[in-house]
Amino acid sequence: MWNKKWVRITLISLAGALILGLSAYSIVLHDQNTSLKNQISAVYQRSFEELMSDMNSLQTKLYKLEAATGLNQYSMLLTDVWRQTGDTAGSLSLLPVSYAGTSALTQFINRTGDFCRSLLRKLSLGQSITQEEYDQIKKLAASCGEVIKSLQELYGKGFPQDGFSEAVFIPENDEKGTLDFSNQEFPRLQYDGPFSESTENKQPEGLGKNQVNQQQAAEIAAKFLGVDAGTLTADGECNGRIPCWEFSGNQDGRAFLISVTKQGGHILWYRKDNGGGISAIPTDQRYRELSKAAQQYLAEKGYGESAPSYAQFYNGMAIINLAPVEKDVVLYPDLIKVWIDIYTGEAVGLDANNYLMSHKPRDLKEPKLTAEAAREKVTPSLVVSSTRLALIPLETGEEKLCWEFTGKIEDRDYIIYINAETGQEEDILMIQHTNDGELVM
């Protein structure tokens, strides 16, 4: 009897303690949970409020542009707009919204900034803003107004704190979420820049006409690699901007991947396992040898003469960037990457994407400016080590023939481009020496 009673008492008190403990624990959890929820919703709240104030200030600046006449005001306002759009898109990206509902707004913000940057560039070249561009600025400001109106309405309804059914970025069906700009008409901007329609829809120019089927592509790949076409495995197709057939296989016990364009039958890229290795920078002498190997490789593969520009070193490989050379002009838009195994000097990779996107017959004109005249346009503090003619791609997608001056200011390495026709300073690049090799910034 005693025993049973004691057992019962023990059990009940144990259960009681357990319940008490669990309740206490759940209260702690609940508190933590609430605190975390509050913190997250504070981030959403802040991002949304920032988005609203950013849109407001974008609109104000765009309207101010309409009123401005002085170059200094233009420059300041355009710079402000361009800088602000990056933050605005950043605020939007922190909100739990769906891609389908907001990608049009992100695009509007990005293109507005990009457009203003292109206007800044025009102004810096001494050109003026056209009536059409004024009209576009006005339309942009009006669109900002519509966006602000929608945002304010949502804010009035307690968004994003209440009424916040969290939208997912990739929806199940086509849900747009509460923040939905998919039906809003944003102005189409006519300009050239990294985010412009013309750039995003750029088509490859270096492919040629004929189409190759998978079998023909296999033969092209086999010939390129020096293997039997029968040993290749077909990996299907890739229908991106440059559609191609893909293959894989083994050569000398090393796996390789290769991709042949459907149009024109060119090698888009090729990579062979090099067996790995260390990430260290070779001596200048060894680097020259590796560059020469890369140049020879490109010549053998039919790309003609090329000039090495910069390189990185990792996993026992050097990745060397080479620009084809035509009539003594270095063609940077057609830059080709070649991977060289540092141990053996063998080419273990090729990336011809830029080449196939940009390469075309070009009418390269004689430079109007002599190298000496162009040198006068370069800062006198640059100690020039080499000079050559180069065709460079601009952000706008245009290509410009320039005199290229490579040299040093104190111990820093620069490459400066002077337009060979107008004498404009088109670009200033800095070479950064990292532990992986050179980076051109």
Interacting span for another protein (CB under 8 A) from 15-23, 95-103, 358-366, 419-427: 95-103
- N-to-C CA span, the chain: 88
Q: Report the Cα 400 to chain-centroid distance in Å.
A: 22
C-alpha–C-alpha distance, residues 307 and 325, integer Å: 7
The candidate with the shortest Cα–Cα distance to 54, out of 20, 88, 77, is: 88
> Any idea which residue has 């080499």 for tokens?
386
Under rule CB under 8 A, which residues in 283-302 are in contact with another protein?
283-287, 289
- Show the binding pattern over residues 38-67: x = contacts another protein (CB under 8 A), - = does not: ------------------------------
Q: Which is nearer to another protein, 6 or 343 (CB)?
A: 343
Q: Report the Cα 352 to chain-centroid distance in Å.
A: 17
Q: Which is nearer to another protein, 202 or 368 (CB)?
A: 202
Q: DSSP code of 344?
A: T
- Does residue 97 touch another protein according to CB under 8 A? yes
- Does residue 396 touch another protein according to CB under 8 A? no
- Show the binding pattern over residues 314-343: x = contacts another protein (CB under 8 A), - = does not: xx---x-----------------x----xx
CB 198 within 8 A of CB 117: no
Q: Which is nearer to another protein, 317 or 382 (CB)?
A: 317
Q: Which is nearer to another protein, 175 or 425 (CB)?
A: 175
CB of 248 to another protein, least distance (A): 9
- Does residue 101 touch another protein according to CB under 8 A? no
CB 192 within 8 A of CB 85: no
Q: Which is nearer to another protein, 8 or 241 (CB)?
A: 241
Q: Which is nearer to another protein, 72 or 165 (CB)?
A: 165
Number of residues that bind another protein (CB under 8 A): 68
Label residue 167 exposed, middle or buried (CB < 10 Å: 0-12, 13-18, 19+): buried
The candidate with the shortest Cα–Cα distance to 117, out of 77, 144, 67, is: 77
- Does residue 430 touch another protein according to CB under 8 A? no
The two beta strands, 399-409 and 437-440, are: unpaired
C-alpha–C-alpha distance, residues 391 and 362, integer Å: 10
Strand partners, 256: 249, 272
C-alpha–C-alpha distance, residues 182 and 189, integer Å: 18
Q: Which two tokens stand for residue 99?
A: 């891609």
Label residue 1 exposed, middle or buried (CB < 10 Å: 0-12, 13-18, 19+): exposed
CB 272 within 8 A of CB 349: yes
Q: Which is nearer to another protein, 348 or 418 (CB)?
A: 348
- Show the binding pattern over residues 105-144: x = contacts another protein (CB under 8 A), - = does not: -xx--xx--x------------------------------
Under rule CB under 8 A, which residues in 192-251 are in contact with another protein?
194-195, 200, 236-244, 246
CB of 16 to another protein, least distance (A): 30
CB of 175 to another protein, least distance (A): 8
Which residues of this chain interact with another protein, rule CB under 8 A? 86, 89-90, 92-97, 99-100, 103-104, 106-107, 110-111, 114, 167-174, 194-195, 200, 236-244, 246, 257, 259, 269, 271, 277-287, 289, 312, 314-315, 319, 337, 342-343, 351, 353-354, 434-436
